[in-house]
Chains A and B, each alone.
Chain A
Amino acid sequence: MQERVKSPKFDVVGTRPVRPDGADKVTGRAKYGADHNVAGQLVGKVLRSPHPHARIKSIDTSAALAMTGVKAVVTRDDFKDQSSEFVPAGEMLVNYRDVVRNVMAREKVLFEGHPVAAVAATSESVARAALRAIKVEYEILPHVIDVVEAMKPDAPIVEDGMITVGVTPPPTKPSNVAKRVEFVLGDIEKGFKEADLVIEREFNTKPVHQGYIEPHACVASVSEDGTAELWTTTQGHWIARAHCARLLGWDMTKLRVTSSEIGGGFGGKTVVYLEPLALALSAKTHRPVKMAMTREEVFKASGPTSGANVWVKMGVKKDGTITAGEAVLKYQAGCFQGSPVQPGCMCAFAPYDLANVKVVGFDVLSNRPKVAAYRAPGGPISEYAVESVVDEIAEKLGMCPIELRLKNAAKEGTKAAYGPKFGPVGMVECLEAAKGSPHWKAPLGKNQGRGIAAGFWFNIGGETTVNLQLNEDGTLTLMAGTPDIGGLRASLAMMAAEELKIPYEKVRPIIADTSSLGYNFVTGGSRSTFSSGLATVEAARSIIKQACGRAAKLWEIPEDAVTWESGEIKPAGDNAGKFKPMTLTDIAKVAGKTGGSIVGVGAISAQGAAPSFGVHIADSEVDPDTGKLTITRYTVIQDAGIAIHPAYVEGQYQGGAAQGIGWALNEEYIYGDDGKLQNAGFLDYRIPVASDLPMIETIIVEVPNPRHPYGVRGIGETAIVPPMAAINASAARATGVRMFELPLSPPKVLKAMKAAKKA
Chain B
Amino acid sequence: MITGLNAGLEKRLEADTGQKVRSCYQCKKCSAGCPVAFAMDLLPHEVMRMVVYGQEARLLGSSTIWLCASCETCSTRCPNEIDIAGVMDGLRRMAVDEGVIPAEPEIAAFHKSFLAGIKLAGKTNEPVLIGAYKALSRRVFDDLGLGAVMLAKRKIKLLPRTVKDRRAVRRIFRGSKGGARM
Query: Are A and B a genuine interacting pair, yes or no?
Result: no
- Which residues of A line the B interface, CB within 8 A? none
